[in-house]
Amino acid sequence: MSGEWREPTDKNKEKSGSDIRRKEFIMSFYWILGFAVGVVLVAIICSMGRRMQKKAGKKPADYDERQVAARGKCFQTAFFTLFSANVIMALLAVIFDGYAILEGPVPYLILIFLGATVFVTAAIRNDAYFRPGEASKGYTFIFGALGILNLIGGISHIVDGSMLDEAGRMDTGCMNLMAGLFLVITAAAILIKQVQDRKAAADDEGDAE
Amino acid sequence: MKNLKLKAARALKDLSQDQLASAVGVSRQTINAIEKGDYNPTINLCIAICKTLGVTLNDLFWEPDAQ
């Protein structure tokens, strides 16, 4: 009978509980499926790019000896940053009995983005991100464009409120914002390095003359 | 310590850092770092640079004792 209020029975409660669990399972299933599809797509694009480079005979040179050493130091810096951030996060989790403002996998994803940002910016600063002779111009555009797109996505999540869950904690909706920040920081670092390199090359030409 | 000998030998051959870097298979920044004394190259790279510039290891990388 419609409109008539009924006392929820144990059976109904059980049913609604299992519905929520089913919904959560479907949500996590689609989340994992989306993640897997993303990984597969990136792998396909990378292998296609390599095959095209191989066909065109444009295989980039390996990193030179200074770059290999510099990359080692950059990995070290990123590792210790990640390590320290992990300790801080663990302490916060102990003090506040869990993350008060972060939900599910978000703390771990923040740490991954932090480590990646530190490594990439340090490698760019030490001229150890691009191989010798590899053009960085295209990457500035790609990283910049992808970063802006992700930032727009992240801002739209903030506006429609989907970045926070019911408890007001940051949900996986903040991924776009983090990816956008990472990509824009990377693009900015490449751009700054390009300007510095252009100036250094011009100075060298001036010295030669 | 700056490696002015390398810079002079490169200038004598009329090569830019970029050209020398391409010839020895490293980045321009690596040649710049060697010239500025920020990076000590391995013996393999030293030999490659010397061969490209037509000089000996002593000419570029040996520092006589300051007495």
Per-residue pLDDT at A10: 58
Whether the CB of B14 is below 8 Å from some CB of chain A: the reply is: yes
How far, CA to CA in Å, does B65 sit from each of A171, B3, B8, B59, B62? 66, 16, 21, 14, 9
Facing residue for A208 by CB, picked from B16, B42, B44: B16
Per-residue pLDDT at A64: 92
ipTM score? 0.85
CA dihedral (A49, A114, A193, A187) positive or negative: positive
Tell me what percent of chain B is helix, strand and coil, each rounded to the nearest 5.
65, 0, 35
| Percent residues over pLDDT 70 in chain A | 82
Per-residue pLDDT at A163: 77
Per-residue pLDDT at A174: 83
Contact A67 B30 (CB under 8 A): yes
Q: Which residues contact A151 (CB under 8 A, 6 or more apart)?
A: A176, A177, A180, A181, A184
What's the whole-model pTM score?
0.76
Per-residue pLDDT at A185: 95
Whether the CB of A65 is below 8 Å from some CB of chain B: the reply is: yes
Whether the CB of B7 is below 8 Å from some CB of chain A: the reply is: yes
pLDDT digits (tens, 9 = 90+) for A127-186: 999 988 887 778 888 999 999 999 998 888 888 887 777 777 777 778 888 899 999 999
